[in-house]
Amino acid sequence: MLRFRYGILTDDDGTMTLNDIGKLYNLKGERIRQIELRALSRLRRPERLQALQHFRQANQQGAAGDQGTSLVPY
């Protein structure tokens, strides 16, 4: 769901509205928003951040000469 919302790992812009994602899952946009908030709060937990450190490091190395393409906002 976060991939759809923020266009992560897509070739084009790929971002979708809450209602567009809701149509895919047969849910209302408000429910998608609630799920999105819960997923983001889980990603902010320290144990999750440690598990995602290799993505951050790979992103920093890969984007050294490419400004503005960071997948992780650090």
Q: Is 74 helix (H, G, I), strand (E, B) or coil?
A: coil
With beta carbons less than 8 A apart as the criterion, state whether 43 and 52 touch.
yes
CATH code of residue 39: 1.10.10.10
What is the DSSP code string of 1-31?
Answer: -HHHHHTTT-SS-----HHHHHHHHT--HHH
Q: Is 42 helix (H, G, I), strand (E, B) or coil?
A: helix
**Contact partners, residue 3, CB within 8 Å, separation at least 6:** 9, 10
Does some domain include residue 31? yes
Does some domain include residue 42? yes
- Name the domain count of the chain: 1
**CA geometry: angle 71, 67, 45, nearest 5 deg:** 30
The reported pTM is 0.62
pLDDT in tens, 8-65: 877 777 789 999 999 999 999 999 999 999 999 988 888 877 777 776 677 677 655 5
